[in-house]
Structure 1
Amino acid sequence: MVLVLTCLEDPTADMVIGRLNARGARIARLDPGIDFPASISFSAWFEDRLHGFLNTASRHVALDDVCAVYYRRPTPYASNHPSQTDRFSALQARFGLGGTLASLPCRYVNHPWKILAAEHKPLQLTTARQVGFRLPPTLITNRPSDAWAFAAEHDRIIYKPLRLTSFVNSAGEPSTIWATAVDPGAIDDTITRTAHLLQARVDKTADLRVTVVGRHAFCVRIESDLLDWRQDYDRISYTVVDSPPGLADAAIALLDALDLSFGVFDFAIGRDGSPVFLECNPNGQWGWLEDATGIQIAASIADLLLETPK
């Protein structure tokens, strides 16, 4: 039995579920933040071992039978209700059902608490340096004087959000802040309001997207004329390439250090041909890459979920 925790509309999870079905796995798909308690009931006993059951609209799941959890994109447990009673109930659901699912003694791809920790860019950058990746000079600050000094030291700098977050702009439209070139003259005292990540811009020839599943690395070279290629997927071309020497081993070492078995890495390819680490998304998107190139990421994730833990 494999639990798949994700939202209702998730074509990427559908790809993995298709592979699991082909291997004869039993699957229970649920979105705890939406489905509980409307269509989910559960009980868990914590005695000599954790055991219990979980009922969905179509499945009865014995917690003892769960061999793996695929944690994709479940809806967050809503704890921002205006009603104090609703806020209390949502938090109890998060720590009760969510805590139980996170405590199952099985394989996770990836464990939600490990994902949360690994999403912190300072931890990523520190770990990336430890495993031997080359990094662009980076500053996280809310001090204008340090931001000005950093801009003066480096020829060109960019701003990147410390966490990619959607918001509604002044026109009422959904928006996202991408990596953006910074004019040093635009840095002013408003920088004091929060933390900002500034980075020396890499003089790159292309980008490299590396999806690591267990001990396997899938490398795709991305050609784009944009600073941040995610802004327009219609302006991208893809080429499946071999992993540069040492990169796959270092990427696996980074995941091992963060107790992860899956990660999506982004590198810039410098003029000298060497990769420069930008970030690792512990729950990154990859489905469109498989569609565009034919690389077998879904099959590899299914294999990992069904692999007997060592």
Structure 2
Amino acid sequence: MSRATTVLVVSRLDDATADVVVEELNRRQVAVTRLDPGDFPTAVSVRARFDSGGLRGSVRTVTRDTDLGRVRSVYWRRPHPYTAPPGLSAREGRWCQEEARYGLGGVLAALRGAHYVNHPWRNRDAEYKPAQLAVAARCGFDVPPTLLTNDEATAREFIRAHGPVVYKPLRNTDYQDPEGRALTVWVEEVDPGDLDAGVTRTAHLFQKRVRSVTDLQVTAVGDRLFTVRIDGSPGLDWRRHYDALSYTLVDTPPELARHGRQYMDAFGLVFGAFDFAVDPEGRIWFYECNPNGQFAWFPEPITARIVSALADQLQHAGDLCAR
């Protein structure tokens, strides 16, 4: 039995997906430390030493003092950004924030023998939509015609050639209105007349709209795939209508499983949440793969199976990695 016994969960406290995984690990009596790097340095501290023997030390939260050498596996979810102590100037704050990112962040990414789901650098690499689309095509997935541009004329030409076309944000970045209320930028259909000089201000992603009859979300946990058919969306972006949808666990098409495995290997991922659309001819189109996707909103019988697979990864895979 390896002396590495602790599962480190790196996420914010209001992460419902991390909550259900922690609950399952607690039920299995697996030692868990939950840590949000955004709480550093006010509520988190680190003491890490390096020499010819490698890394040793500990990380301390308000409730735990965890030996870094005893971390079996790391569940890297959705931590807050690194912060700086209050009272500093903007220049000093930025410096402290970056030192925290490369200091504490570097330690948490260098735990010897730990099994990462996923390693934060693999998450980072796999979050870029242009990289996702390029790798998906190389792995054999069908990818809808897509344009990334900040050129207004090119965008208009693409929409005329491939319409109907939708606009998709490149990242789910926090966005607020002037009153501080959180806003979500949804997938929306666009017409050439909707475009103006605002296109030139940043990168925009336009994609030919798929005439979908159903959607699929495939959650990959190691070698296990959980494919859920999503039906009943009254609108273009089904994420806006969770309560109106039906969810059915179905067998994963063999070709989808094969391409998915190639995709996961290309990015070095253990976990990934794929989104696909199925058109009237039965052709399956790749939209994206979120390396850190949510799943706790599925009905409990589906969520429970994914949670069990994740807990197996975190509880047992560390033994294999430490040998």
- The answer to whether structure 1 residue 309 and structure 2 residue 317 are counterparts is no
Shift of the alpha carbon at 1:144? 2.0
Tell me the equivalent position of 2:290: 281
Give the structure 1 partner of residue 155 of structure 2.
147
| Bigger relative CO (Cα 8 Å, ≥ 6 apart) | 2
Deviates most, 160-169 or 71-80: 71-80
CA contact (8 A) 1:218 1:295 kept: no
CA contact (8 A) 1:3 1:70 kept: yes
Aligned to 1:251, what secondary structure does the other structure show?
A: helix
Shift of 1:290: 4.7
Q: Please point out which of 61, 70, 79 is paired with 1:56.
A: 61
Structure 2 counterparts to residues 19-168 of structure 1, below 5 A: 19-34=24-39, 36-48=40-52, 49-78=54-83, 82-105=89-112, 106-168=114-176
Deviations 1:64-91 (A, max 9, x none): 1111111111111026974433332222
Aligned residue for 2:3? none
1-structure distance, mates of 2:302, 2:110: 36
Aligned partner letter, 1:55: R
Q: Distance in 2 between matches of 1:169 and 1:235?
A: 27
Opposite residue 46 of structure 1, the aligned amino acid is: F
**Is this contact kept in 1: 2:215–2:229, CA < 8 A?**
yes
Alignment correspondent of 1:5: 10
Deviations 1:160-199 (A, max 9, x none): 0111223123565321111100012222333111111010
1:166-177 mapped onto 2 (5 Å cutoff): 166-169=174-177, 173-177=181-185
Are the counterparts in 2 of residues 69 and 108 from structure 1 also a CA contact under 8 Å? yes
- What is the deviation of 1:291? 2.5
Alpha-carbon distance between aligned partners in 2 of 1:18 and 1:172, rounded to the nearest angstrom: 33
Q: For residues 222 and 93 of structure 1, do their structure 2 counterparts lie closer, same or farther at Cα, with a shift above 3 Å needed?
A: same
Q: What is aligned with 1:206?
A: 214
Q: Which structure 2 segments of 5+ residues have no match? A: 1-5
| Cα separation, 2, equivalents of 1:205 and 1:47 | 58
Does structure 1 retain, via aligned residues, the 8 Å contact 2:165–2:190? yes
> Is there any run of 5+ residues in structure 1 with no aligned partner, and where?
none
Report the AA paired with residue 104 of structure 2.
L
Q: Which runs of 4+ in 1 moved over 6 A?
A: none
Residues 1:159 and 1:19: Cα distance change in structure 2 (over 3 Å)? same
Whole-angstrom CA distance in 2 between matches of 1:278 and 1:110: 21
Aligned residue among 262, 268, 271 for 1:253: 262
RMSD between aligned residues: 1.9
Structure-2-length-normalised TM-score: 0.90
C-alpha spacing 1:170/1:56, structure 2 compared with 1 (3 Å): closer
* SS of corresponding position for 2:320: coil
Residue 226, structure 1, aligned to residue 231, structure 2: no
Identity of aligned residues (%): 46
1:265 equivalent to 2:265? Answer no
SS in structure 1 at match of 2:218: strand
Q: Are the aligned partners of 2:227 and 2:251 in contact in 1 as well (CA < 8 Å)?
A: yes
**Contact 1:166–1:177 (CA under 8 A) maintained in structure 2:** no
Instruction: Output the amino acid matched with 2:11.
Output: T
Q: CA deviation at 1:263?
A: 0.5
